[in-house]
Amino acid sequence: MRIAFPLLAVLAVALFVSSALAAAALSLLLPVAIFAMAAAVLLRGQVFSAARLFRLGLQSVVVSFGYCGDVARCIFAPRSGNPALDDNAFPAQYVRLEPPQFVELHRAQQQVAAALRVSAADELWMSPGIELGIGETKIEGRKVRFLVVGLGLLRILSAAELRAALAHEFGHSRAGHLRLGRFLRHSLDMLILAQLRFRWFDPACWGSTVSAAVMRAIYLPWSRAREFEADRIAAGLAGADAIIGTLRKIREHGPALSVALGEVLRRSVERRSGPEQLSATAIGFAALLPQAERRRLSVQFEGDPLDLGGRTHPPVAARINAVQQVQTQGELPPAVELPPERLAQLDRRLTFTWLASLSVRSQVTAPAMATPTTFPEERPRTREELEAPTSDGLELDLDGTWREGRNRG
């Protein structure tokens, strides 16, 4: 199955490319045929008719080259590249942190990456929620591997569980899922653009329709198979108990924390004044949810194990069952807990930027919570105060452009 899904995807893309190239070749043959007809008419002495045909041939040359350009764009540049994660939705609020600004987490991800013999992340992209994902993009002309980590996730997982979660994400890299993911995203962009660009009578449209149907059929089972493989890699490195504990905590606490974070953001937007610590406030909100509501959210997050539907991830129960018998093969240093004071300091420093990113949004939707709450007012701080480095080396760049000469750790 590991080979079957990529092979089907390659065959689907090859079908579209061949049909698109065939259509492009036919478009180039059209002006050749028109010029041949014009030459034959000219030989018969019908100068006026030959001139009209030559003019039509020139017009068809322009149209043919334009069509070939559309085909080339569909195949090679269907969409401008944006930072994308391997298997998670990119968070709306994030702040780029270079390694020295959160050295404990940087060391943890370096250990996991070294044990799996893959490249460690160059930058940490922090969000207030429970996101976790690895990806690659280009920033200022250089290739950057980034690790998106939710501060809420760091608060609910133990050190061993966090390392297991990191092993799962780097397991995607070890198994080649990042390369496959880039190929798949490019292929889907290509097929979507072809569906929009070419008309129903176009061979390129026929090929893209068949290829898109194949992609839709294989994408979801392929995605679930990748999750199982990454889980096995993580269990082999960090231990089955650690990855099982991680999956259970995310299932039990993740949905409630996501709802609570949405409510905090919604109230912050309404009041134009947010909490001092966004992630900590969201965790406090989640703790106020009744146990029955937390259970309902967990069940909703889990879904029906017998109906995979449109899931990209398998049910948590199935994932736990799949890794229970995996034997630990790697050796890692003892897990070190992240300092709570560092998490609180990060929360305070990053909350300003997270909330500032909502200035372009008119509203944030989330279920309303019955329990009223008040947010502590934050003293307005100047830009110099926000960007000034603290004693632990934490430093914000509000413009998102890193200063030259900064050492990388």
- Lowest mean pLDDT segment, chosen from 169-183, 247-261, 266-280: 266-280
Dihedral in degrees, nearest 10, Cα atoms 358, 124, 119, 2: -40
Task: Note whether 71 and 21 are within 8 A (CB).
Answer: yes
Write the pLDDT tens digit of every residue in 337-396.
998 888 998 898 888 888 876 652 323 333 333 333 333 334 455 556 555 554 444 444
Greater confidence, 135 or 358? Answer: 135
Task: Note whether 324 and 240 are within 8 A (CB).
Answer: yes
Tokens found for residue 225:
């198979």
Rounded CA gap, 339 and 159, in Å? 10
Give the number of other CB atoms < 10 A from CB of residue 329. 10
Residue 47: the pLDDT is: 84
Rounded CA gap, 155 and 129, in Å? 10
Write the pLDDT tens digit of every residue in 152-175.
999 999 999 999 999 999 999 999
Rounded CA gap, 269 and 130, in Å? 21
**DSSP-derived pairing of the beta strands 123-127 and 142-150:** parallel
Tokens 């050492």 appear where?
A: 407
Write the pLDDT tens digit of every residue in 34-93.
889 989 988 888 888 889 888 998 988 898 888 898 888 888 878 644 444 433 333 346
Nearest partner of 132 among 146, 147, 112, judged by Cα: 147
Nearest partner of 326 among 128, 89, 168, judged by Cα: 168
Mean pLDDT of the chain: 80
**DSSP-derived pairing of the beta strands 142-150 and 132-139:** antiparallel
Ranges 164-168, 173-177, 223-227, 251-255, most confident = 164-168
Tokens found for residue 31:
């002006």
Residue 359: the pLDDT is: 57
> Coil, strand or helix: which one is 102?
helix
Residue 170: the pLDDT is: 95
Residue 323: the pLDDT is: 94
Instruction: Decide if pLDDT at 15 tops 60.
Output: yes
